[in-house]
Amino acid sequence: MTKAVMIAGTHSGVGKTTVALGLMALLMRRGMAVQPYKVGPDFIDPSHHTAICGRPSRNLDTYIMGTGAVQDTYARTQCDISLIEGVMGLYDGLDSSDTASSAHVAKTLGVPVVLVVNVHGMSRSAAAVVKGYQTLDPEITIAGLILNRVGSPRHRKLVEDGLKGAGIDIPVIGALPPNRELTLPSRHLGLYMAHEQVWDYGKMADFIEDNVDVDALMDISSTARDPGSPGEIVILQAGVRIGVAMDSAFCFYYRDMFDELQQCGAEVVTFSPMSDPMPDIDGLILGGGYPELFPDRLSASNTRYDIRAAAWDGMPVYAECGGLMYLGSNLEVNGRKYEMAGVLDSESRMVQRFQALGYTEAEVIANNHLSGTGQTVRGHEFHYSITECAHDARFAYRMRRGKGIQEGRDGLMVYNTLASYMHTHPLAVSMQKFVDSCREYSRR
C-alpha cells in the first residue's frame, strides 16, 4: 500500500504551508524518499517542496488538468510517501463547487486528510468548526487534526475535551504553539520563491518534530488507496532545441512542461535574458515571474535585441504573463518606463491592485503554434499589471472565463509569437504542436 497524506487547512493562512514544509524536511531527515505535490495552479510553494525533497514537486489541479491526468501524475513517481499540500480551505474550489478544491483532489486520489485548524481564541468552538468539516462531505476522510496557535497545554486539553464531547473521534496528532520565527515572508504574488532567500528548513523540521506525532501521521498515510499504474511515457530522440528563460525574472514553470518538451523530442536549453546571450535555439519560451523587479537589468541586456530579431525571423515564441510584459515595447514600474524586447506592439505597466485572479477558460479563435481554432484551453491568471495594445492587435483566445489582455481577448499574436496573460498547463494543452513548429523552423 502506498503511503500518502494531504495537509489541508480550514482556510488560507492557517499554517498548512509551514506544516507541509516542516513535515517534508523532517521525513527527508529521517531518510525517506518524499514525493511532494501541490493542489492548484501554484508555482511558488512547489519551489520550496523541490528544494527540500530533492525531486520535482508536481501540481494536482482537477480543473485545468482533469481528474484522469491528476491520477496519472500522482501514480507516476515511486517514493516512500506522497505528501500533498492543499490549497486555501479544504472545500474551497471553483466558484461554489468542490471542483479543483483540496477535497476534490483527495477524493480523486483516495488520500486521507490531516486538517490544520487555527484554534487561537477558541476552546469548545473548535469542535463546531471540525464537525462542519467532518460532515460536509462524507467521501472525505479527515484522519487527523493539527491544532495551530495553541496557547498552552491547558488550551490543548480544552480543545480536545470539546472535540470528545461533540462525539468527534478524529485524533489530534499535533499542537503547534505560536512561533513568529517561522513566518514565511511574502509579496504581491505570494511567498518568496525557494531560490531567492536562504531558508532554514531545518528549523521547520525541528518545530514539527517537537509538536507533531509523526508516527501517528505515518499510520494515517498508510490508509491511502493504491494509485495504480501510470500510462506509458515515450521519450522521443531530441531533434530540436528550445530555449527557456530561467532566472529570477522568469521562474513560473510547471515541471510537467519540461517533461513534455523532452517527451515531444525537444532538448531544453535554459538561459537568463538578463545576463546570458541568447543560445542557439529553434524556439523560445518565456514564462511568468517577476520582470517588474528587474526592469533595469532586462532593459540593459542586449539579449532583448536578439530575441526581437529571432521573433521577426519567424522563430516560434511562446510567453505567459511576465513573458508577455517583456515582449512588449516597454514596461512601466513606479512611473518610469523601461524599454523591453519590442516584439509586440504593446505596453505594460504595474499597478497597486491585482487586475486578474483565478481560473480561466478560453476558446481558440485563431490557429496558433500551441492550439487550433475551436479548441478549448484552460488555465489561470494572476497579475498586477495592465497591458495595452494596438487597436488592430490579433488575439488567439476569446475568454469564456477570466479577463485576458483586452476586452475579453487574450493571446497576442504576431509573426510566430503567442503571448498571453493566461498560464496554461501541458496536460491542458499539449506542447507537441509548439515543438513541431520549432522543428519546422529549424529545417528552414
SS3 (DSSP) at 131: helix
Is 53 considered catalytic here?
A: no
**Sheet order of strands, 394-401 included:** 266-271, 240-245, 283-286, 317-320, 417-420, 409-414, 394-401, 356-364, 376-383, 423-424
Query: How many residues comprise the chain?
Result: 444
Query: Around 171, how many Cα atoms within 13 Å sit in the side-chain half-sphere?
Result: 11
Given 53, 321, 389, 438, the catalytic residue = 321
CB proximity list for 66: less than 8 A, separation 6 or greater: 427, 428
Q: Cα–Cα distance between 19 and 26 in angstroms, integer?
A: 10
Buried b (16+ CB within 10 A) or exposed e, 333-346: beeeebebbbbbeb
User: If we measure between CA atoms, which residue out of 423, 371, 437 comes closest to residue 65?
Assistant: 423
Distance of alpha carbon 361 from alpha carbon 257, whole angstroms:
19
The Cα diameter of the chain in Å comes to 75
Residue 208 near residue 18, CB atoms below 8 Å: no
Spatial CA neighbour of 256 closest among 47, 385, 430, 9: 430
- Measured distance between the N- and C-terminal CA atoms of the chain, rounded to whole angstroms: 52
Count of CB atoms situated within 10 Å of the CB of 48: 27
Determine contact, residues 145/114, Cβ cutoff 8 Å.
Answer: yes
Residue 128 burial (CB count, 10 A): 12
Which residues are catalytic, by number? 321
